[in-house]
Chains A and B, each alone.
Chain A
Amino acid sequence: MLSLEPQIADRHFVLRLFVAGSTIRSARAIQTIRQICDTYLTGRHDLQVLDLYQCPEAAAREQIVAVPTLIRVMPTPLRRVIGDLSDHQRVLDSLDIGSLPAGPPS
């Protein structure tokens, strides 16, 4: 992770989470992402949670195959994490957030 582009550390994050209703998995995914945002991305993130049932068109547009799916829309390139989103480290690694300093940038 030492090779992380320096500019990513203070980039604005746009995260889009697709869930299917209020299942246990959905609830866990929402809680995990919420905590990550609050810990690492304070003041520089935009989290959007979408329900497949309520907006199937958006799911098609984003080429969602299965839910839960978390998409890192910004910064590019686009990244997706699918399935069990209760594992903090897995989500952090997948989104390249793991090595970011906690809290807002100075």
Chain B
Amino acid sequence: MMTSRSPAAADPRQTEIDELRARLGEAEETLQAIRQGDVDAVVINGTAGPQVYTLLNADRPYRTIVERMQEGALTLTPEGTVLYANQRLAAFLGLGLEHIVGHEFGQFIDVEDRTLFCALLTRNDPHGGRTELALRAADGSPVPVYLSMIELMDEGRTIVSGIVTDLRWPKQRMQELAEANARLVTVMAERERAESLLRHALKMEAVGELTAGLAHDFNNLLAVIGGNLELFSARTGDDWLKARVDASQRAVERGARLTRQLLAFARQQNLQPQAMAVNALLLDIEPLLRSAIGDRIRLQLALNEGLAPCLVDAAELQASILNLAKNAVDAMPAGGCLTIATAAVTLEDVPGQVRGGRYSSINVTDTGHGMPSAVRDRAFDPFFTTKDIGKGTGLGLSQVYGFMRQSDGYVTIDSAAGSGTTVRLFLPVTDMIAPAPAPPPTRPARTTPQSRRVLVVDDDRDIRELVVEVLESLGYTTVAAESGPAALVLLDGGAAVDVVVSDVLMPDGMSGFQLAREIRRRSPNLAIVLTSGMTGADHAAADVMRDLPVLKKPYRCDDLMQAIESALDAAALDRVPA
């Protein structure tokens, strides 16, 4: 117990006595504390400096920390023999401590990493060293760890102490992260691909609309030019003039072919899809293909026998296959192999892109120079071509693309520079049965044109006058109307007419299809011929009136006459009582 100093203790001797008393009290307290075991350690000041002597188990907490910590701990001789290892390290290795202490630590390290460990052990770096390596557990499994070691002096001897950190969890976590990242990358790539497909589809759609409008107007112009040239040609006896007119007519025909291809791309073709066997069609055109591709290229057909019929326009499909074959030939100037294979495939539904279901695929593969991705991405664009000027229009693949889309099918291109090209056509399978080839219909005896009266309906004055001119030159009697309603007024007024020749696209709220429907309602037996520069604009009506012949503009006089006669024949057949 301390004594309080009072102001009276100013006497130096009394102060000294108080101080000595206090120190005596402290000494007694110290002795008592040691006797009672109230201290953890005592300090002895020997000749070698202060020495701490731990009483009871004062270092037990350290022991507990070292044994229970998450890291493995060990001490080694400088040669690598284990002097001490904690329980955690034993757990990493799946061994009892008795099998670790006294053994070479190197033997618990994966063979491939032992040199790493030896290098660390012999480095003699006062700051220690650390490395990542794998332990080999008793069951043979690798345990990735981080090992840090440092040399220590202890009572005049050198020992190496080490800490072993388990990396299994971080490694696993990193792997999971890597996997998640990979999944993310895949999803992003997929999304990018979808977006690019969508952009492409939108572009094709826009170009298609533009193209369709253009082609339609051009067809009307070509119809006027071609028709008048034909009339002119019939009237002149001058050979020189005839030759000039013929050349002009050939140019009109080339123009007409171009606009047909444009319309095909714009999905505005007048298609007549029917159930057909794809394999039979390919076998039909095989001789044609062989002659088209020449001797240097080998043709292989690999036809899958189990194909269901497809609903598609046969003539257009043939044209597409020939088109692809021609491209393949151009890609193989030094010869090669053209393979046409068919297969039954099922496509997964991809909303907005692919309608899932059963398809027949036609794969046209060449062994040619292939195309780089920049070319492949634009391959379906109209007028995009890699061929020399004059060698190709750049419309071939566009036409195939438009045809397939109009047929509810798809077309894809697989190609890379130097590794050939495969174009795949996917045609929707139909439940309908492919008909056997029908014998050509027998025509009833034809009456001469003179006795026929034709009502010509077209809003374009030039065309209307031309058609009237052409028909009269062929011997028909004609009457003309500039619109659907005007035509109906004429018919209702009792105009004597055997056949109506009408344009499809007309203003005044009545298309050729609508006019035809009205006429059918009023006089079911009246023959009708529709003509059009573009027929796809009124698909709904076209579906209803699939049996109506549609003559593509521009057409030749012969074509028009044949269409009129066929329509008259059909109407006559309908009138024959069953």
Contact = CB atoms under 8 A, between A and B. Distances in A.
Given A53-B52, A77-B19, A82 B39 contact: yes
Interface in A1-50: 1, 3-5, 19-23, 25-26
Contacts of B240: none
A20 B52 contact: yes
A94 B62 CA distance: 31
Contact size class for A? Answer: 20 to 34
Interface in B462-495: none
A67 B41 contact: yes
A56 B43 contact: yes
Nearest to B61: A22
A19 B296 CA distance: 99
A60 B40 contact: no
Nearest to B32: A83
29 contacts: A1-B4, A3-B4, A3-B7, A5-B5, A19-B40, A20-B41, A20-B58, A21-B61, A23-B40, A23-B58, A52-B41, A56-B50, A59-B52, A60-B50, A65-B30, A65-B42, A66-B30, A66-B33, A67-B39, A67-B40, A67-B43, A77-B19, A79-B2, A80-B26, A82-B29, A82-B33, A82-B38, A82-B39, A83-B38
B6 interface: yes
B29 A66 contact: no
A83 B29 contact: yes
Given A21-B59, A56-B52, A93-B2, A64 B38 contact: no
Contacts of B54: 20
Contacts of B62: 21-22
Given A5-B5, A26-B40, 15 more contacts: A20-B54, A21-B58, A21-B59, A25-B38, A52-B43, A56-B43, A56-B52, A66-B42, A67-B39, A77-B19, A82-B26, A83-B32, A83-B38, A94-B2, A96-B4
A82 to B, nearest CB: 5
A65 B38 CA distance: 13
Nearest to A4: B4
Nearest to B52: A52
Contacts of B389: none
Nearest to B44: A65
A22 B33 CA distance: 19
B49 interface: yes
B1 interface: yes
B8 to A, nearest CB: 9
Interface in B1-50: 1-2, 4-7, 19, 22, 26, 29-30, 32-34, 36, 38-43, 45, 49-50
B32 A59 contact: no
A79 B4 CA distance: 12
B331 to A, nearest CB: 82
| Interface-central residue, B19, B50, B61, by most chain A CB under 10 Å | B50
Contacts of A81: 29
B169 to A, nearest CB: 28
Contacts of B61: 21-23
Contacts of A93: 1-2
A4 B58 CA distance: 38
B41 A66 contact: yes
Interface in B452-466: none
Contacts of A65: 30, 34, 42-43
Nearest to A81: B29
